[in-house]
A and B are shown apart, each in its own frame.
Chain A
Amino acid sequence: MSTATLELKNVSKLYRVSKKEVHALNPISFDLLGDPARIITVAGESGSGKTTLASIMLGLLGPTTGQVLYEGKDVSTLSGSQYRDFRKNVQAVFQDPFAVFNPFYQVDHLLEVPIRKFNPGLSKVARRKAMEEALEAVGLQPSEILGRYPHQLSGGQRQRINVARAIVIKPKILVADEPVSMVDASLRANILEALVSLRENYKVNILYITHDLTTAYHVSDSIIVLYRGSVMEAGDITKVVESPQHPYTQLLINSIPWPDLERKWDNQQYANPDIQEISGSGCKFYSRCPNRQSGCQVTPQLVPLFPRHLASCLLHQPQANLDSNLTQNL
């Protein structure tokens, strides 16, 4: 096995807000391997630490503890040219397809800047060709897009252009932070399809960050479920979504408004997240958990339950013969 493209080693993040400490992310370790390309979902509700994790992976935020390694080297100590290489190969797509465009420039500008920056030697014709290729990869007609201004395009088109911008320089890793949450439901399919084709055709590893397990289930290969900065459950996407083991994952899945008359919301009541206290130690989900026990005051470990299926909950006995390493289970 070659070195992982991106390695997270015991990465955690602590925010201090006027004397209060918030553990946005508890220590987590996993690798994004270069090959085979995969789509990994990081799921959780607001405040679960998913965007913090993304920012750390993108190098936008330094971890409080631990290290992020890019091809074996710590991201915080990369030299100038190494850092450029990291920047080129780890790209991002953000949530808001409206905010990233400068309304005074044609969309070509957004696509051209990264090429100029990372491939300065390219001729005008070659740049144009790269832009057209990237647009086609996300299912857009270059002739309908190039030369237009952002206000002439729909949200779905803009978001696909953002994906095209990220891949125009052929990165190895794409971090997509809620790429479809602000796009109409009927247009989401096109963006998700673009992500899947990137993995297939360009071998891009994608970290798909979302609170929507429906789309996660459709695009990704594996999943990490976060709650208040800790991993609740992780593993193969079909296993986790089809038979969730952790009560929190069960809550998430039971809350999905399935567009299916046969699958209505159940009647299980959960404590309201709005009025709970943030507890110190122990299982983070304790105050809302319908199955809580006295033993839950101790922080549970993330343990293997089945092949490629981990959970951190005392309800489940670990299978000692299975690998508990997060990377191996993704």
Chain B
Amino acid sequence: MEHLLDITGLTVSYYTDIGRAIALNQVDLKLKQGEKLGLVGESGSGKSTMGLAMMRMIKPPGKVEGGSVVIGGVDMLQLSDKEMLKRRLSTISYIPQGAMNSLNPVLKIKRQMIDAYKAHYPNHKLDQILQLAHETMISVELPEHVLEMHPHELSGGMKQRVCIAIGILLRPQIIIADEPTSALDVVTQRQVIETLNRVQQKIGSALILIGHDMGLMAQSMDKVAVMYAGEIVEINDVQTVFTSPKHPYTQALISSLPRLQNRGEFRGIPGMAPSLYRLPSGCRFHPRCNQQQPHCQTTSPRKSIFEDEKYVTCHLYEAS
């Protein structure tokens, strides 16, 4: 099956006074239609940069320095700004972190949805757009009268759903949700994630859920990509990630999770993530790795590719 999304060699750097921070280094990712991928990693590992780079929304001092983001045969990075504008929301949409702050406080929800729609189809009739807005509200499980409300009248969970509604308004092929529930409590979080899953299923798009909560990934994703210091160290199906993780970092991440069975045990990952300005030589994880070998300090590991576009970047799995 043809891949809907094909990212190869995506590299993004931020240039600041203290030097160049490589936020994304040669990242590859392939996704099929309707697939749900969780993108996990610590803060600063490059998850959000990845989402933004796919949307071509990296702003200076950030710079996309290489690679391609091919969606349905078209490389997003080669499009003109005007063409890219048309693709956002209609081909690929991004639900930002803290989406509640991304709504315009002085406009009614209805107005904000119409504006988003009109930016793509300026000639469509208003009642046609409103009809679609109503349908979209129903699909994110919000009462229709929310359309007539202002953002401050809504709770956090409702605002998040409004953002999802705007995100899916034009039925994009890919939805990127960047920590959509990090500011919500457990009950609301569950409802928002379930809503997101239902609309994803309904419109058949691919979903990338960015976050650091492994629990959410276990509950609703098909595949998990684990990021560390600007690289994807492992992509695997959710089953493998939770039952037999391959990369030592994934293993540490999984065993640090609080479960019902291991009450009172704390297994944090020793050390801290490296600064992107001063990356360790060789494998970026080697200073924290418990299965370190001598050549890990000097040589960067290559991808060991398994079937179905899964891979792990670690010397332990390199075919000798």
Q: Which of B207-244 contact A (CB under 8 A)?
A: 212-219, 238-239, 242-243
Q: Point out the residues of chain A lying under 8 angstroms from B186, CB to CB.
A: 45, 211-213, 252, 255-257
A234 to B43, CA, bound (A): 35
Q: Assess the B272–A218 pair: CB atoms within 8 A.
A: no
Contact of A261 among B141, B239, B260, B268 (CB under 8 A): B239
Q: Point out the residues of chain B lying under 8 angstroms from A272, CB to CB.
A: 141, 191
Contact of A274 among B158, B190, B259 (CB under 8 A): B158
Q: Which of A211-233 contact B (CB under 8 A)?
A: 211-215, 217-219
Contact flag A258-B260 (CB < 8 Å), given A185-B214, A187-B42, A274-B155:
yes
Q: Assess the A257–B157 pair: CB atoms within 8 A.
A: no
Contact string, A169-186, partner B, CB cutoff 8 A, digits 1/0? Answer: 000000000000000111
Chain B residue total in the interface (Cβ 8 A): 47
Q: Tally A-B pairs: CB < 8 A.
A: 123
Contact of B157 among A190, A196, A219, A274 (CB under 8 A): A274
A212 to B267, CA, bound (A): 18
Interface size class of A (residues with CB under 8 A): 35 or more
Q: Assess the A186–B263 pair: CB atoms within 8 A.
A: no
Q: Point out the residues of chain B lying under 8 angstroms from A263, CB to CB.
A: 260
Contact flag A186-B187 (CB < 8 Å), given A272-B141, A274-B157:
no
Q: Point out the residues of chain A lying under 8 angstroms from B263, CB to CB.
A: 217-218, 238
Q: Assess the A215–B258 pair: CB atoms within 8 A.
A: yes
Q: Assess the B259–A260 pair: CB atoms within 8 A.
A: yes
Q: Assess the A273–B258 pair: CB atoms within 8 A.
A: no
Question: Shortest distance in angstroms between A46's beta carbon and chain B's nearest beta carbon?
Answer: 5
Q: Assess the A259–B214 pair: CB atoms within 8 A.
A: yes
Q: Point out the residues of chain A lying under 8 angstroms from B253, CB to CB.
A: 186
A274 to B192, CA, bound (A): 12
- Does residue A264 face the partner (Cβ distance < 8 Å to B)? yes
Contact flag A265-B194 (CB < 8 Å), given A213-B186, A260-B242:
yes
Q: Point out the residues of chain A lying under 8 angstroms from B52, CB to CB.
A: none
- Does residue B70 face the partner (Cβ distance < 8 Å to A)? no
A127 to B212, CA, bound (A): 38
Q: Assess the A190–B268 pair: CB atoms within 8 A.
A: yes
- Does residue A289 face the partner (Cβ distance < 8 Å to B)? no
Q: Point out the residues of chain A lying under 8 angstroms from B214, CB to CB.
A: 185, 259
Q: Assess the A261–B187 pair: CB atoms within 8 A.
A: no
- Does residue B294 face the partner (Cβ distance < 8 Å to A)? no
Looking across the interface, which residue of chain B has its beta carbon closest to that of A155? B43
Contact flag A260-B218 (CB < 8 Å), given A184-B212, A218-B266:
yes
